[in-house]
Structure 1
Amino acid sequence: MVKEIIKRLAGLKVFDNVVMAVVSQSPNIQKIQLEIAEELSFKYDENTESGRARRLHGRLMEIKRILIVLDDVWTELDFEGIGIPSHKGCKVLLTSRNLEVCNAMGSQEIFTIPVLTPEESWELFREIVGKPLDYPDLAKRVTNECAGLPIAILTVAKALENKRKHVWDDALKQLQSSAPGSISSMNDKVYSSIQCSYDRLESDEEKSCLLLCCLFPEDYDIPIEYLVRYGWGRGYFSNTDSVEEARNRVYSLVDKLQRRFLLLDGKSEEHIKMHDIVRDVAIQIASREPHRFLIRCDAEKKGWPKIYDHYTTISLIPINIDEIPVGLDCPKT
């Protein structure tokens, strides 16, 4: 939605420049500074956060009318620390799931985006499926279970496309009964819809490829080549006799996952991204048997385990060598 807003504003020529940076749950000031600079086509010579802030502040002051979009803000940000000036020609638009964050940052106007109405939900569902529905009454019941949440509708619609009636029946039952487990902040319907889409992936290879993506930090541009290396190393791909064959397989799997809206486009054709909510669900799935992944962000929230014997895959990205937990011995990895 944010990208659509930017696209429309660009057409209206209200601002001389419109730039965007993704913030995410763990704000990285350097990353925000770099994303803004990249969109303004300049690079920093400064190596320190404060030095980059001064350089960015000066560059933004040169622009008469600019809109800075900060997407997916979870905590209060220090604009001065980033380098965002407070002159009248510099406007900031932020998106957040937390109203308190918007208030804490002194937002002058707060627009609450409501969930889709039943009519809008049904229209979106039919648009995704893209053809006359064989089971319209059942499809409407499935759509209603998505609770007007676009990401739930998108993932469920793609998961049920071209499926037989018993699959639709089973999906409805799952949506009605599924619980979000330990994801206390997530809407039950969103969790169950993504879990439903995961369960209906056509092969274990697709599932494994998706779960590999949750090893990377939130909003990370994931190099597809990394998925090739990790998947090949773990023996995920059947009937592949070379890395080149594995690479072809991974690109094919990524394409399928993108068509189901479980993965998103990255900054280039060689990169992909994972929606943060899809990633949260994937982490929960990957942390259970038989996968037993340990993801740094999840471990930091719940506390690092004392024993690592049963973990098969551990992601410490991003981490400094001196931050590695003491006694990290993982015989199964």
Structure 2
Amino acid sequence: MKRHLLGLLALAMLSWPGCETRPSDNGGDTTNGGGSGGGTTDGGAATGGVPAERLQTTDFTYLGAFRLPDEFNWGALGLCCYPGGDGGAGSLLVTGFQSPYDSTHPGEACWNAEWDCRAYFGEVTIPTPTVLSNWEDLPVATLRNTMTSFDGGLVSTVNREWTFVSDIEYVPRQGTQSSDKLYGSLNFWYAEGGVGENTFPTIWFANLDGTQTRGMFQVGPDSAPYHGRKMGAYLFTAPEWYADQYLGGRTLVTGRSRGTPRTGFEPVTTDGGSQGPTLFAFRPWDSDSPTGNLDALPVLYYRVAFPGCGGPNVGDPAQCDYPDFTMCDDWTGA
């Protein structure tokens, strides 16, 4: 059955007047502290118990919605703004089918070992969002080019069937690089069954036309709190001023919620997944052919109490660091 996708996209639908300029320094802790709770504190007067510098519902204005074309059915898990697209007017880069696939078998997960499975994206124009009661009458974005592979088959080297092409991000060229880049992230949703307790890479990059792919890259070292189960479900760029002040210049951020421990031998641990959403900042590469792990900083993660919190049929929410966490909780689409 065809699934119609609504373009409920923050860049096109929301007016965000409070974030066009950098907010004033609130005098909070500016150390690069990682771990559960991060390394900054909120300041300023509170409104209804919420610090004044946090986004409020009044900071947003709903402008409407639009749809994506059929090429994105059962996909569009990730998107980003491409400022230079559509002749300089700006466009959206959107991931295609949710899994890597062979172009001769569109819409199918990569279950056949002989298939050449790849991650795809498409560039679409941004139509004027509209407020309508019938979603089928919403304007449809135009696909500017054909769907393009941008991973060179790298995603399927991590796992062929249990990975999702979860996000995409445009990054201007850095250092000695010859061109701007597209970064991609994968969500290995059942890593426990694929690689056991081992960590795994979740990030790659390519040129804007999908060529010269490099990866896969692991976010941070192979030690707690870093682990592939905490990475890859979303990928976004932090404002440069914020990255410079709080993240040591690391401008890309990824994360995930997967509430399983690495081994299960400890009742409470930070090794493995996170029972709550995570944020790990990392520095984009500054050369065309880098090697090694990404330089990363933990910003937010939660301990795993397993099976105490969120265990199958026996979890007690009182033992969870994140309020009322369940193993079905999911955070996507950052």
Q: TM-score, normalised by structure 2?
A: 0.27
Q: TM-score, normalised by structure 1?
A: 0.27
- Higher strand residue share: 2
- Higher helix residue share: 1
Q: Which has the higher contact order (CA 8 A, sep 6+)?
A: 2
